[in-house]
């Protein structure tokens, strides 16, 4: 008969063998996971490079088309008939739409490849927002975009290029949801409790709970077909997260929407 001590040693040995087997399996699984992660990262990087090349190849001729259409619209080469002017407006608007699509696809590819980075700089908030709104007024010259940035000069840390893209995306979304040209989209900005607070408000049709629930999903858009890429708000949410913040939505169907962005005013950096 096997003594109790002997039986205990046998059980202990079996447990040790089982643990050793599981450790070997776990290490092998981790190695496979590491190889798979590296492979997927390589795929994402190659995809980002391909999209970058494609985006450049698309944007270059589109910029020429857009520039030529704008010159015609200004009637620099000569006067246009009413019908010709309408065709030129269509060409210019369509070029803007495809340029926006190319930019959004490139940004999306950079996010997926983990290449999206924040480069914080200290800026004076009111002067910075004035510059952003000034450019937006040039892009959306047919609509009113108002700025409300009260208070004394305030220095904050942010990535100027990314926050400009965020505000541009939110303003474009607001304009799509309010088709009454006499209504203004309002950009507000101030600091409170150590945070930068940005708010973009419209007086448009608002959103239902269903639309609100999928607002920041990729390729999801409540705008009519042909307006917007469905990526702008997804990208904006990612930019807010990279700044250590988030986007909140206050909306009532048929009574307008306010997109509220809050992130630390200091040198905080969100997740990469």
Run of H or E including 147: strand 144-148
- For the stretch 230-239, pLDDT in tens is 678 888 998 9
Neighbours of 107 (CB within 10 A): 23
Give how far Cα 34 sits from Cα of 23, 113, 256, Å. 16, 16, 48
At residue 97 the predicted structure's pLDDT band, cuts being 50, 70 and 90, is confident
Q: Which of 9-23, 99-113, 238-252 has the lowest mean pLDDT?
A: 9-23
In this structure, the strands spanning 195-202 and 257-264 are antiparallel
- The DSSP string of 154-218 is -EEEE-HHHHHHHHHHHHHHHHHT---TTSEEEEEEEEETTEEEEEEEE-S----HHHHHTTTST
**DSSP category for residue 224:** P
Predicted pLDDT of residue 224 = 47
d(CA 268, CA 196): 12
Q: Can you give the C-alpha Rg of the chain in angstroms?
A: 26
Using the predicted structure, report yes or no on whether residue 188 has a pLDDT greater than 90: yes
Predicted pLDDT of residue 271 = 46
CA-based nearest residue to 108, from 251, 232, 241: 232
Cα 240-103-73 angle, rounded to 5 deg:
120
What predicted TM-score, i.e. pTM, was given to this entire model?
A: 0.66
Cα 47-51-57 angle, rounded to 5 deg:
150
């Amino acid at each position: 008969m096997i003594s109790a001590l002997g039986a205990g040693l046998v059980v202990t040995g079996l447990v040790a063998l089982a643990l050793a087997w599981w450790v070997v399996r776990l290490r092998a699984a981790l190695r496979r996971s590491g190889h798979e992660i590296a492979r997927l990262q390589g795929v994402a990087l190659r995809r980002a490079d391909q999209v970058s090349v494609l985006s450049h190849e698309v944007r270059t001729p589109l910029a020429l088309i857009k520039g030529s259409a704008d010159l015609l619209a200004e009637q620099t080469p000569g006067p246009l008939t009413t019908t010709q002017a309408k065709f030129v407006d269509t060409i210019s608007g369509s070029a803007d739409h495809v340029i926006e699509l190319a930019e959004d696809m490139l940004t999306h590819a950079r996010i997926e490849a983990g290449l999206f980075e924040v480069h914080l700089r200290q800026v004076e908030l009111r002067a910075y927002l004035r510059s952003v709104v000034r450019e937006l007024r040039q892009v959306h010259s047919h609509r009113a975009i108002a700025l409300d940035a009260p208070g004394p000069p305030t220095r904050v840390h942010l990535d100027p290029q990314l926050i400009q893209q965020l505000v541009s995306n939110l303003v474009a979304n607001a304009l799509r949801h309010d088709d009454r040209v006499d209504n203004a989209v309002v950009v507000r900005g101030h600091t409170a409790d150590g945070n930068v607070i940005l708010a973009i408000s419209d007086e448009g049709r608002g959103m239902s709970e269903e639309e609100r629930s999928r607002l920041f999903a990729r390729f999801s858009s409540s705008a009519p077909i042909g307006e917007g890429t469905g990526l702008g708000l997804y990208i904006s949410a990612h930019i807010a997260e990279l700044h250590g913040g988030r986007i909140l939505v206050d909306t009532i169907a048929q009574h307008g929407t306010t997109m509220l962005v809050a992130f630390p005013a200091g040198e905080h950096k969100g997740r990469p």
